[in-house]
Amino acid sequence: MYESLKVTCASFHIYIFAFDELSFQILNDLHLDSVTIIPLEKFENEQLLDVKKDRSRAEYCWTCTSSTIEYVLTNFNVPACTYIDADLFFYKSPDILTGELNHGKTVLITEHRYSWFSKIFEEKRAGRFCVQFVTFMNEPKSRMILNHWISQCIEWCYARYEDGKFGDQKYLDEWPETYNNVKISEHHGAGVAPWNILQYQIFRSADSIRGIEKKTGREFSLIFYHFHFIRFMDNGTIDLGWNRIPGDIQKLLYIPYINKIKEMEHNLESKFKGYKTKFYPTQPSGFKEHVKYVIKKIFKFNIIKT
């Protein structure tokens, strides 16, 4: 994600929250330009520590999302802060998206834009909007929404659907109806992802990656792709999840991205003794997970080797 921003964005600054000591040491030793590393002990407050013991590692990260934005706005006094997922890759500058904030709109959110099949299984659980790229201007109305989101995540943030909630994400569904300063990004190049890729034709033009919405014929520049669910397996294959990724998309987007990740993993392992690439077992524990992987392997569904 960082490397892609360096190529596409003329000016940026990233605040990375290191959730363990090894991450902090590695990031600190890399001396990345335009990056501030924030250790957990500086970020965590009493409210977060109170709920930490009750949540899994992933759930705690989700719980902290809104609080990381608040921390940056408060401690670094920036005019705006955008939370971005680490598994995004930028093909064009995100300035196009933050530029949508005008005429009193001070919070930007992006839709999942599900393909019809993904929508059947995912929308009720995961919600209309995706916490992948969320911008808050540093002004009172924006901060009011942010503070309410923080309170909601402290109270309940778990990796399950319950009473209309799911993680930190379903809370966003109510924002456009409740607040008049929330802008839903209109750019279809913001958040092309496994759950919506089937409704787009993606291709390389002379100077960029572009897409066409199959239903309307609308053409757009790909701003970022969300590489959700990429698992490096212990037999050398890569599992791309359960949303079908067409072969041409695998070649155009996934294989270059995966090769870049592998190169970076190799460099990290050679430089830092405590760092090891995580591999998922091809013989997973639990009957259900094992059956899933066997089915995927038999049908060669989203299983690739680079």
Q: What tens digit of pLDDT does each residue of 174-186 get?
A: 999 999 999 999 9
- Which helix H or strand E contains 144, and what residues bound it? helix 140-155
Given a cut of 90, is residue 284 above it in pLDDT? no
Decide if domain 50-228 falls under CATH 3.40.50.460: no
pLDDT tens digit string along 249-271? 999 999 999 999 999 999 999 99
- The answer to whether 202 and 209 have CB atoms below 8 angstroms apart is yes
pLDDT tens digit string along 51-71? 999 999 999 999 999 999 999
Domain ranges for the chain, please list them.
50-228, 229-306
pLDDT tens digit string along 221-240? 999 999 999 999 999 999 99
Identify the residue with better confidence: 220 or 306. 220
Q: Tell me the average pLDDT of the chain.
A: 96
Tell which residue, 145, 165, 147, has the closest CA to residue 156.
165
Q: Rounded to whole angstroms, how far apart are CA atoms 151 and 154?
A: 5
pLDDT at 265: 96
Assessment of whether the complete model's pTM goes beyond 0.85: yes
Given a cut of 90, is residue 286 above it in pLDDT? no
pLDDT tens digit string along 100-158? 999 999 999 999 999 999 999 899 999 999 999 999 999 999 999 999 999 999 999 99
Given a cut of 90, is residue 306 above it in pLDDT? no
Backbone angles phi, psi at 82, to 5 degrees: -115, 120
pLDDT at 119: 94
- Which helix H or strand E contains 182, and what residues bound it? strand 182-184
pLDDT tens digit string along 72-102? 999 999 999 999 999 999 999 999 999 999 9
Angstrom CA distances, 299 to 253, 295, 302, 303, stand at 22, 6, 9, 9
Given a cut of 90, is residue 287 above it in pLDDT? no
- The answer to whether 278 and 232 have CB atoms below 8 angstroms apart is yes
Q: Rounded to whole angstroms, how far apart are CA atoms 71 and 36?
A: 13
> What DSSP line would sit under 56-120, residue for residue?
-HHHHHHHHHHHHHHHHHHHH--SEEEEE-TTEEESS-THHHHTT--TT--EEEEE----HHHHH
Q: Which residues touch 79 (CB under 8 Å, ≥6 apart)?
A: 137, 138
Neighbours of 110 (CB within 10 A): 24
Tell which residue, 101, 112, 113, 103, has the closest CA to residue 183.
101
Given a cut of 90, is residue 213 above it in pLDDT? yes
